[in-house]
Amino acid sequence: MRGWWRYFLLGSLLLTPACAHVEHKDQVQEQGDKFYKSPYVRRCLQYEKEKLVNEAQSCWSRLLGRIEGEPGFLAKSELSAADVSRVRHQLRASSQRSADLKSKLRGCIEIANRTRPERIRCFQDYLSRHGNQLTRSERFEIESAIATLQRAQLRAEGKIENTLEHAGKLLGLELSSEKEGLRIDTVSGVPASNTGLREQGLIVAMDDTLVAELEEAERVSRLESCSDDPLQLLVRYGGMEHIGFMRVQLACTPGQPSRKLWEVSLPEESCSEKDDAELALGLSWCYLARDGILEVEEVCAHSPAARAGIRPGQRYRAVNGTRLLGLTRLQIAELLKTFPAQPLRLQAVEGVLQSPQPVSGPALEGSARAACWQAISATLERGRR
């Protein structure tokens, strides 16, 4: 009997760790399954499965934003601390994939010293390689860019009439070409007269392309594309102290709407104040509305902006790929709200240099933010003396 008990106890000791290991493994498996069964997570994973890179990145970013900023969401979603770490990991990975995809597209948009056929081939190659990773609207934008370049090429070859006068007539405008854009000399008829456009405005952007970056033939080609699809124009009206912007939609085909989308009047220059969103980055800047540029005034030591290599005097025209031209300070603040959940990429005026590296968290809050503002205020005050 004594020997029997000895073997029984020995077997129990050997089995207990094995059972505990199996139980722990089951718990880990259950936690993992719970993560993948979450409806909030599954929505983002579906975008990943469909290889919609930008949609996936936006989905993870929104989810993390709700986790960190929406009271009660974490409990409602039943996501654990480990699950939140997974969400952050997924966001970092999808953000990198999205940045890589956008970088390849910028390689076609910002090509220097290449012929128009080379640019067309670049866009076509991008679509063939990455078209399945884009949404329908993203593919449409690239296809429209290809069509515009092809139309401009035909004009350059003399196969299509190439006159600004002809394009203006389609829109009900008389236009003259300037370095920064197209001047509205006269609003002569529809569809332009239906939108509230006024004389002496300067068309600075067509859809999302700056007119100053287009060759003459491409300007004409984009204007005439209103015969195929509605065309959006961003028009600037100058003033002594305020700059006006109007965005309109023009359609040259009967039955399609032409209308004013919005209009805003902005101070020619407005600079950071105590409670502005950029203080979380550790910097102050001035917004130059005429050209849609943020010019850095001061940067606080040991701040997210300082770690990213941002220095006073640097000038930026886009935040995370969104051009600032025509935006209000409130809209710029909305762009900054993705920080620190998502790093900020600031595109320099030159179009090549971004902030030396993305601006990453943690954000300046509380006493650190107050100290930063005090340091900025003191530096600016000394500069005024």
Q: List Cβ neighbours of 8 (8 Å cut-off, separation of 6 or more).
A: none
**Residue range 146-168, pLDDT digits in tens:** 877 777 777 667 665 557 888 88
At residue 30, the pLDDT reads: 47
Q: What residues does 363 pair with on adjacent strands?
A: none
| pLDDT tops 90 at residue 107 | no
| pLDDT tops 70 at residue 18 | no
**Residue range 343-360, pLDDT digits in tens:** 898 888 865 445 567 898
At residue 348, the pLDDT reads: 85
The mean pLDDT value of the chain amounts to: 82
* Nearest alpha-carbon partner for 90 in 133, 126, 43: 43
At residue 22, the pLDDT reads: 44
Task: Band the pLDDT of 117: cuts 50, 70, 90.
Answer: confident
Q: Is 210 exposed, middle or buried (0-12, 13-18, 19+ CB in 10 A)?
A: middle
CB-based burial, 228-246: b 16+ in 10 Å, e otherwise: eebbebbbbbeeeeebbbb
Question: From CA 244, how far away is CA 233, in angstroms rounded?
Answer: 14
CA 170 to chain centre: 32
Tokens of 98: 């999205």
Going from the C-alpha of 344 to that of each of 93, 338, 362, the distances in angstroms are: 15, 8, 12
Mean local confidence (pLDDT), 264-280? 91
Element (H, E) at 346: strand 346-348
Give the angle 95-98-101 at the CA atoms, nearest 5°. 150
Question: From CA 185, how far away is CA 188, in angstroms rounded?
Answer: 9
Question: From CA 289, how far away is CA 190, in angstroms rounded?
Answer: 30
Task: Band the pLDDT of 248: cuts 50, 70, 90.
Answer: very high
| pLDDT tops 50 at residue 27 | no
